[in-house]
Structure 1
């Protein structure tokens, strides 16, 4: 019983009734202006009224803003489960205008049917309750009232279904929305990788420098270590601020320097930080930063940053060999370091055990970056040079090729 009565008491039902009655009022106003209700047969009145309503609604549907107005009104009064099921955008194509015309005509037709039904049903309920024509009809009054209520509930649900079908996004719009969500997800993943690479590099340098300063005990070395920690922390904060600016969808220049993108031009500063952390760097860069697309330069910087950070983390004190060159239309990057010796590991960690390198988020991030740019990445131990860990990445110079 509650399932039958509850919808009759819900505010949603009466909001939808108001939406239905707006269509009935429109039809009634048009009927009074033309063709009128005097000196004509019922069939002629209905035929002319339907024709005039259809023409007027079709003309209104040609106005792009009409679709937006109907969508906003439907969202407010029909109360869909999800607002995005009903669009609130202006018409962009003739298909949108045709669907808007269908919605307007269907809305007025359904509203008129419900309005006329209530106009005859509710007075009949009143007559039965007041005993007009005899008290025998009194028991039928609640049934007729319940029928009117269920008519309103059903018509409101039907109106909502029509709105979703005719005012909702078209298949092309749904596909575009899905693509936009996918792009946003990819962008958020890219920003997550940016933070991982930047903050991970800063923390690695900070930990190594602090540990080395404690072990060495030289005031001059400790002062230099603190300078490196300060500079590395400042760069990490700039990267964090730049990422937060992007997450807030602010204009690219909103944060001044925070909006600057890293690139191959910043690699010398990165190598200086690695050298200050105790690992020598032999770098050969045979390509100018301006020769690369901006996105390729940025991603290349992040890949090299992750490579040297891994070298610092797992082979502290060992030479890091970086080579960047263009070969056969590909940007080739190679970052190699000798596997840590027992002595160097003991000096840095104090336990004589080498750090085992595992494939973590950093290497996965490098592979994802390379794949998104149409390239490839590989990393692992090599026997050459007495045992090395080598990261090799190849990226096409022309994106999408």
Structure 2
């Protein structure tokens, strides 16, 4: 459901942007400066290798890139067949808010409500991005303080004491080089919030830093040594301002997103407990009796149906008891953004198995189910899992419950492992 909100809001956003581009009712008195950014952006539209000319979605892709909402992946691809992560959706909304394009678009009230719902769905990710911008601004402030100290040092080069030794100029060159390296290593991040009273964005701060360093280089190269009336030339590496646009897919900028897919199907193998008075027998071991029965099963489910709460339907076959277990559970994933995701669940189930007195007669028993497990992400679409299910049987008619024959009610359970395939 969350993915549906996000995709719907982005679709409404794209339609609104397209409407704004083709709107012919814009007053002729609009200053030329308001159109300049769009013209500049239009000349810099990325040509994605997987969106060739004639592709059915090329115009739409060019439009959102022109608006500065998406920049593609570092390898020059758009990857239109991949699912959009929640962090990527949050970045799109963040750029939209700081650019002011939302207020200038021809969106209906319905589309605005849809976009607002999408933003609410990724509010946590928007907060994470805002925190990263705050950290970037703090780092920028630190760099500005270092530049101020460096300027004071350059101003002191005009005195005879400072110019008495050429070592100061060499040390200054080394510090400028170190400062350039530090600025290049500032991670790219989205621009700070725009507005008359809001703080300056990271893009403006970075541009100001680059301009000040260029001025320092010009002053350092014209420094005159008074000891021997010779002119020293400082060789510096040209400053390359860091990118001011976050590229979707850049793992240095965006926290590794959790899997955006929701629906899955899976297979499992397991072992169900049984009693010594009605054991199962191992294959290829001379028929040795054991207190567990092997099982095989399948499942389908969704991780997010109502917020973080999902649902799962699973079924198992227990050959040793001629039994079938089927249950439906509500699940809750404790998603922390890593490859390992614990989960819990609860629900109801039904066991159909042979009776203890007849191999040809079956009986049914109802149970309440509780489960706990761990998912381990192998790839973006495949997850391995281990799970334990505890069952409280409300009746004890069949051998598949694993209870003693004289028990009316009681606890049983199974342990299983397998794979889930997300789509």
Q: Which TM-score applies when normalising by structure 2?
A: 0.26
**Larger radius of gyration between Structure 1 and Structure 2:** 1
> More strand per residue: 1 or 2?
2
> More helix per residue: 1 or 2?
1
